[in-house]
Amino acid sequence: MRSGIGRSALRGPLRLALGAFALAGAASAHPDDPKILDIQQPYEGPGYHRGQDPTASQGFQSSRVALEAWLPLGTLFSGSVSGNDCWGYVSPTGREYALIGVSHGTSVVEISDPGNPVVIAALPGPVNLWHDIKVYRDFAYVVSEGGQGIRIIDLREVDQGIVTQTSRFGGASHNVALNPDSGRLYRVGGAAWGTYIYSLDDPASPVRIGEWTDTYIHDAQVVSYTDGAFAGREVMFACVGSQGMRILDVTDPQAVTVISEFHYGEAYAHQCWLSPDRRYLYVGDELDESGGAQTRTYVFDVSDLTRPRSEGRFTNGSTATDHNLYTRGTLIFEANYRTGLRIFDATDPVEPVEIGYFDTYPADDDNNFNGLWSNFPYFPSGTIIGSDRERGLFVWSLRDYPLSIALPEGRLPEFAEPGTALVAEVVRNVPSATPAGPPVLHYDVGDGFIALPMSPRADGRYEAQLPADLCNAEVSYYLAIDSTDDTTATSPVGAPGSVYTTYVAGRSVVTLQDQAESPLGWIVNADGDDTATSGAWAHGDPLGSPAEPSDDVSATGVNCWHTGLAQPGASPNDHDVDGGRTTLVSPSLDLRGLHEPAVAYWRWFHNGGGGLAGTADDRFTVQISNDDGASWTLFERIRPDDPAAGGGWLRHVGRVNAVLPGSEAVRLRFIAADREAGSRVEAAIDDLQVLDLLCTPCAEDLDGDGMVGLYELGQVLAHFGQSAAPWSGDFNGDQRVDLTDLALVLQGFGTGCP
């Protein structure tokens, strides 16, 4: 079947085919898509099946990902010169099939034996660079920028080797999203511009039921919610390119509404996918690696759809362009063009760690648009497939990573009470994986790690509690589990070299709060040596841009401190920090009498974005002083490669005594700096708090009435020889007497428990 054309030789017929293909693609490219610029000669040579000489596989570099088979483009579809999207189908008998788009149509490949794939069908379509595929029940739906509508592929008889392309509907589309729970299909991009919505009540005959075309949508994921504030609603997470992200309520297809929109300093929001628990959204940006920036994936907490919150970003240190990603269990599977398949463990969902890869483009890791386009990791067997632009279909299995540990209720909070429980869930990354026992919690208070086996729960999860007598202590901890094949999984990945931390205290009491609604007490350029030529700290209601917030973080109020003041419609580069540093000093904070003082604040820092890479000198620095600003000590520093440097409101809490002793004249100094040309720097500060961390193990139900209230409060006061008469009981004004009020009493006596 192969023509034998070498990688370095481009003969006449192939050159003409590529030229015509490039022209066809350029005529239908979606806004800002650069892939048309990087068309290369397809690989012309043998592929690979299990049992063949592995040297035939081009010397691909890999870790924990095993190559089962590889089918080049010509094997998939004679005459095809480019690959694109892929998806999967499982027949009622359990046989597994890969569907891969190529320049000339769609190929269906059986991979039930992943080492010996068999091409079942090659179905023609418009000759075009862009094809996208999704599957609902026993039908596949294939879209293209090349027109000819959405092609419907009937897979009901695929086990018998029969696959038919039955009909077409709609027009040219860049992408297609499917919600299997509602049975709806969403055309996006292309002639659809926004989205056209179809009912799949009859999967063979889709019916258009609505549309939303307010803005271009590049790609989307659509899900149905069964609990929470949006129970019974259908929600679309839409990537809208250079305009960032939109969350849409598409429950009524004829009256689609915007729930929220959010930005992260985007160059081009390309594709996104939710974590399995739908708490986090992972966003890939196709253009933000220009200028030498690292491959970055952005993380958002979308547990409140009305107020998505940035959790920063993560990277594996590569400079390749990221393209399509999907989540399964604790793992994230990314198709990142010239670095191929990259697999991340999201045991820590906001700081995933790369644990495996297979590089389908051995030549380099540049930020061009060649190599792996997409992947599909959802086959019940654990088989993974990938579609490569120049090299066709790859079939893989995950090796040496059978188990991982999820934290379904999150890690321990920054400040945990004694006896706080940690919940874990064991995830099988390989279907045959078997745990050798329960997970084990390892914790260390400074004298070495102590192992605490976790107890099974009725729901299949595991639980362990911190010791009840442990208080006012900084704790390092991690979880580990062994499998029967003698491998060990940990959370976080890399433990005990990497660990989680918490500070154990009975209560975290807010003793002072400044929501930055007023500028009183705050000082800009206190020392008179700021050098920034633009973007100095300003107080007010931010107007927003892709690089700076459009709202403060407070539930009430509108003001915050932010660098510069962008005007509506202005470029994000017009009002960012340039030419040096700008400083903001907090009011004086009195920390006298606090048992274990801590300072908390919400901060926003954006560095880079829009194709501009931040430099090592462009950082956000927070300093602390206990002598009213006469001298300063480092409290926190965020560099451009830090996950917190991607924009978005993030809360930071730090213990003061860990840096210097508290006093009656503590101040914080916030410094945003842009010391080099070519980067975009924005910062903001809001909701400054002083906390006191207290241990109150004596705060228990002494009279057996089921609560801690006035009786217990009186007992504590009596211990100190005080009468309850001068005390109202409800010291924080929340209309109840509870542990917070008790902690305030203890704080007033400058002690913990009697």
| CATH number of 498's domain | 2.60.40
193 or 278: whose pLDDT is higher?
A: 278
Q: Which of 69-73, 531-535, 681-685, 739-743 has the lowest mean pLDDT?
A: 739-743
Residue 697: its pLDDT value, please? 43
How many angstroms separate the first and last alpha carbons of the chain?
86
Tell me the pLDDT tens digit for each residue of 297-355. 999 999 999 989 888 889 999 999 999 999 999 999 999 999 999 999 999 999 999 99
Domain end point (choices 375, 398, 421): 398
Asked if 284 and 335 sit in the same domain, the reply is yes
The answer to whether position 656 is within a domain reads: yes
Residue with tokens 């090592």: 616
Residue 160: its pLDDT value, please? 98
Residue 564: its pLDDT value, please? 79
554 or 741: whose pLDDT is higher?
A: 554
148 or 739: whose pLDDT is higher?
A: 148
Q: What percent of the chain has pLDDT over 70?
A: 84
Both tokens assigned to 173: 């589309």
Which amino acid is residue 91, in one-letter code? S
As to burial, measured by CB atoms within 10 angstroms (0-12 exposed, 13-18 middle, 19+ buried), residue 315 is middle
Largest Cα span, the chain: 99
Q: Work out whether the CA dihedral 219, 225, 229, 230 comes out positive or negative.
A: positive
Q: Which of 47-56, 281-290, 412-421 has the lowest mean pLDDT?
A: 47-56
Both tokens assigned to 549: 């917030």
Residue 642: its pLDDT value, please? 79
How many domains is the chain partitioned into structurally?
4
Tell me the pLDDT tens digit for each residue of 537-552. 999 998 887 778 888 9
Taking CA atoms, 419 is separated from 26, 438, 463, 508, 569, in Å, by 62, 20, 12, 15, 52
Beta strands in 1-64 (DSSP E): 48-49, 62-63
Between strands 150-154 and 164-169, the pairing is: antiparallel
Both tokens assigned to 445: 């208070």
Residue with tokens 């027009």: 171
d(CA 29, CA 452): 57
Asked if 335 and 200 sit in the same domain, the reply is yes
Residue 612: its pLDDT value, please? 39
DSSP-based three-state secondary structure for 717: helix
The answer to whether position 481 is within a domain reads: yes
Asked if 365 and 341 sit in the same domain, the reply is yes
Contact present, 355 and 402 (Cβ < 8 Å):
no
Supply the pTM of this predicted model.
0.84
Tell me the pLDDT tens digit for each residue of 154-190. 999 999 999 999 999 998 899 999 999 999 999 999 8
Residue 265: its pLDDT value, please? 77
d(CA 512, CA 600): 10
What value does the mean pLDDT take over residues 42-60?
80
What value does the mean pLDDT take over residues 195-221?
97
Residue 233: its pLDDT value, please? 98
Q: Work out whether the CA dihedral 705, 710, 712, 715 comes out positive or negative.
A: negative
The answer to whether position 570 is within a domain reads: yes
Taking CA atoms, 513 is separated from 117, 503, 510, 554, 669, in Å, by 63, 21, 7, 12, 17
Residue 88: its pLDDT value, please? 98
Domain end point (choices 398, 427, 443): 398
Nearest in space to 288 (alpha carbons), one of 574, 616, 612, 546: 612
Asked if 576 and 440 sit in the same domain, the reply is no
What value does the mean pLDDT take over residues 367-371?
94
- The count of C-alpha atoms lying within 13 angstroms of the C-alpha of 506, restricted to the half-sphere facing its C-beta, is 21
The answer to whether position 140 is within a domain reads: no
The answer to whether position 384 is within a domain reads: yes
681 or 275: whose pLDDT is higher?
A: 275
Q: What percent of the chain has pLDDT over 90?
A: 66
Quote the mean pLDDT of the chain. Answer: 87
d(CA 666, CA 598): 11
CATH of the domain at 37: 2.130.10.10
Phi, psi of 645 (to 5 degrees): -95, 10
611 has pLDDT over 70: no
Residue 433: its pLDDT value, please? 94
| pLDDT level of residue 491 (50, 70, 90 thresholds) | very high
16 or 332: whose pLDDT is higher?
A: 332
Residue 18: its pLDDT value, please? 57
What value does the mean pLDDT take over residues 10-31?
49
Residue 128: its pLDDT value, please? 92
Residue 660: its pLDDT value, please? 95
Both tokens assigned to 737: 């007497």
As to burial, measured by CB atoms within 10 angstroms (0-12 exposed, 13-18 middle, 19+ buried), residue 729 is middle
Range of the domain at 737: 703-748
Asked if 495 and 470 sit in the same domain, the reply is yes
d(CA 223, CA 548): 29
What value does the mean pLDDT take over residues 260-288?
93
| pLDDT level of residue 97 (50, 70, 90 thresholds) | very high
Q: Specify the long-range contacts of residues 15-21, CB closer than 8 Å, at least 24 apart.
A: 17/79, 17/81, 18/81, 20/127, 21/81, 21/82, 21/103, 21/127, 21/129
Between strands 245-249 and 234-239, the pairing is: antiparallel
What value does the mean pLDDT take over residues 11-24?
47
Asked if 517 and 612 sit in the same domain, the reply is yes
Tell me the pLDDT tens digit for each residue of 642-665. 778 878 888 999 999 999 999 999
The answer to whether position 126 is within a domain reads: no
Q: Which of 270-284, 401-415, 416-430, 709-723 has the lowest mean pLDDT?
A: 709-723
Residue with tokens 């401190």: 561
What value does the mean pLDDT take over residues 222-241?
96
The answer to whether position 84 is within a domain reads: no
| pLDDT level of residue 275 (50, 70, 90 thresholds) | very high
Asked if 415 and 345 sit in the same domain, the reply is no
Tell me the pLDDT tens digit for each residue of 448-471. 999 999 999 999 999 999 998 888
Phi, psi of 557 (to 5 degrees): 90, 170
d(CA 451, CA 496): 12
DSSP-based three-state secondary structure for 14: helix
Asked if 618 and 635 sit in the same domain, the reply is yes
Tell me the pLDDT tens digit for each residue of 399-422. 999 999 999 999 998 888 888 999
Residue 741: its pLDDT value, please? 60
Asked if 418 and 319 sit in the same domain, the reply is no
Asked if 255 and 371 sit in the same domain, the reply is yes
Asked if 413 and 430 sit in the same domain, the reply is yes
The answer to whether position 674 is within a domain reads: yes
Residue 364: its pLDDT value, please? 93
Asked if 636 and 727 sit in the same domain, the reply is no
Residue 25: its pLDDT value, please? 53
276 has pLDDT over 90: yes
Residue 644: its pLDDT value, please? 82
16 has pLDDT over 60: no
